[in-house]
Every structure is written in C-alpha cells, then in structure tokens.
C-alpha cells in the first residue's frame, strides 16, 4: 500500500491527522509525525496498521452496494470491464498487435490474460484500483471478467 493510498483514506473521510492517529492506535509524543512519515513514504507501516487501512478501504468502497451499482459493468463496446465491488479493478481488451509483449504487463504487476480473439481482441490487461493484501487472490474475478468480455464481444450480450 503506497503513501498516496494512506493519505487518500484519511482525506476521503475528512479526518485530521490527530483523528487518524487515534483510529490507528498510534501513541506517544511522535505519533502524528509517524503518521506523516507513513503518508510521505518515509516509514513503512507495520502489518497491523496496514490491516486497518485495508479495512477502511473495503468499507468505503463497499458503499457501492448502497448506491446500487452493479458488480460488473462493461463499456466501450465491451472492450472495458469494470469490477465495482471490492476489490475494484478495470480490464481493457486490446489487439495483440497493439501490445504484443504481454510479459511486460505481468512484470509491472498488471495481470494479462488471453482472449478468444472475438472482435479482433487477443488479450485483456487488468489494472487494480484497490490494494489487495498478499493473501487474497483475484484470479477467479479476472476469469469472470474475461468470460464477460468474451461473451459481449462474441454476441453483444452479457
């Protein structure tokens, strides 16, 4: 989890630094400076602090249920798939000729999957919006996204 995410969680909730220090259970005379160091990327938060941030993040984006957003949505004629529940991500289907070096996406931590070629699109590249803890595997969600895109491109229906 990077410092922008840490600062975003606090600012999205309208919390002051002292309030966030209290939520995280930081104490001592340097607690606010420790939070500042987390948000600036000068100090790595401990696992317990990261779990609190991840929980806050899931709660905030779980609010999509309150807005009655669908779990999945497709745009750009089925080329772009959005997973609107936690963990949120976006997948973009592209022709292989556009990005033939699929391994580069995987090296950058962007999952890339082959498509069946429908609509002239051979692969789909995913970008995570939410941070995923190491113990969570989104492989099944990516597989479902691939299926949805292939169905949309094949016959125009999800």
The rounded average pLDDT for each run of 10 residues, N- to C-terminus, in the chain (158 residues) is: 71 82 89 91 85 75 66 89 85 78 71 80 84 75 93 70
Looking at the chain, the domain(s) classified CATH 1.10.260 span: 3-65
Q: CATH: 1.20.1530, 1.10.3470, 3.30.70, 1.10.260. Which one for 3-65?
A: 1.10.260
> Do 115 and 123 touch, CB atoms closer than 8 A?
yes
> What pLDDT is attached to residue 103?
66
> What pLDDT is attached to residue 34?
92
> What pLDDT is attached to residue 158?
41
> What pLDDT is attached to residue 15?
79
> What pLDDT is attached to residue 122?
82
> What pLDDT is attached to residue 157?
47
> What pLDDT is attached to residue 154?
81
């Amino acid at each position: 989890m990077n410092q922008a995410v840490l600062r975003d969680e606090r600012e999205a909730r309208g919390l002051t630094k002292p309030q966030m220090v209290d939520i995280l259970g930081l104490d001592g005379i340097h607690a606010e400076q420790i939070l500042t160091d987390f948000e600036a990327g000068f100090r790595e938060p401990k696992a317990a602090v990261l779990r609190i941030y991840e929980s806050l993040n899931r709660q905030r984006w779980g609010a999509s249920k309150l807005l009655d957003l669908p779990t999945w949505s497709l745009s750009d004629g089925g080329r772009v798939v959005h997973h609107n529940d936690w963990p949120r991500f976006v997948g973009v289907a592209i022709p292989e000729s556009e990005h033939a070096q699929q391994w580069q996406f995987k090296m950058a931590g962007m999952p890339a999957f082959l498509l069946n070629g429908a609509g002239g699109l051979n692969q789909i590249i995913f970008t995570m919006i939410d941070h995923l803890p190491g113990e969570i595997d989104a492989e099944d969600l990516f597989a479902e996204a691939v299926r949805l895109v292939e169905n949309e491109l094949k016959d125009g229906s999800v």
